[in-house]
Every structure is written in C-alpha cells, then in structure tokens.
Amino acid sequence: MPRPRQRVCLEDGLKLDLNRLIRQGTVRPGTRTGPYLFRWTNNYTGEVVASGEITSDLCSREEGWFRFEADDLDQRIILVARPRHFGGAQWYFVCPVMNRRASVLWMPPGAERFCSRQTWGRRVVAYRSQFRGADDRAHAGKARIKV
C-alpha cells in the first residue's frame, strides 16, 4: 500500500546533478565555464518549467565553485574533488546547509534554494516511487528496463 501523499515529491522540483552537468560539458574540470543558459522542462509536455544561468570554476584540482542565477535566486555552491581509487577525481557539491558532499542538489516546490536531499528531511520530501504501490513500482521498473 502506498504512503499517503502528505509530503512534497522531489521530482516535482528542480534538480542539479553534477555528474550529468560534467558529462554534458556545462561544467568542465580544469577550466572556468559559463555563463550557460540552463533549462528544466516538463517530461510530459516539453514546456520550460524554469531556467537560469550556470557559471563554474574548477581550475583547482581540489576545490571550486558553482553559481546558479535566475530571476529570484542567486546561489553560489562550493565544489570539492575527491580522489578515485584508480586515478582521477570525483567532483561533489558541498550542501550549503548540511556541509556534506552530494552529487545531486534538489529544490522542491516552494523551496528558495538548492540543498541535498538529507537537508529536506524524510517528513518533508519523498521520491515519486514512495507514493506508489508495489504493483505500480513493478510496472515502472519494467518500463525503465524496456526503454
């Protein structure tokens, strides 16, 4: 039986995934990038939900910064690199509230800034799958495999 929907769904808000931004080339280790126009779109309708400018500086091997600017938000986030076992480095956001590393920062509906999932707490937010029953989760998993 799914949980009653008293919490906010994280996926209904905005998401900053640092690994995806690096793969796309929007953020590049070793250089300063931006400003780039970044948009979030609705997966179903394709309409733009939000947009803003991204600027980053990862010139140092160990630390850098990331800045997101929109109409009502100007947030600067520290980035840190940690060495990987077989060479190279993994970059992380430093959550502005919890001061801990995170690859993904969220801004759920009604929030005023990006923070890690742990900042929002279990009583405030949940993932979409937590609102589904067992059968719906199984069908969603099957659909992901099929694609």
- Is the pLDDT confidence value at 140 over 80? no
pLDDT at residue 60 above 80? yes
Listed in sequence order, the residues at least 6 apart from 81 whose beta carbon sits closer than 8 Å to its beta carbon are: 29, 58, 61, 62, 63, 64, 89, 90, 91, 92
pLDDT of residue 68: 93
* Structure confidence at residue 90 (pLDDT): 93
pTM: 0.78
Rounded mean pLDDT, 5-31: 84
pLDDT at 128: 66
Per-residue pLDDT band at 145 (split at 50, 70, 90): confident
Does position 111 have pLDDT exceeding 80, yes or no? yes
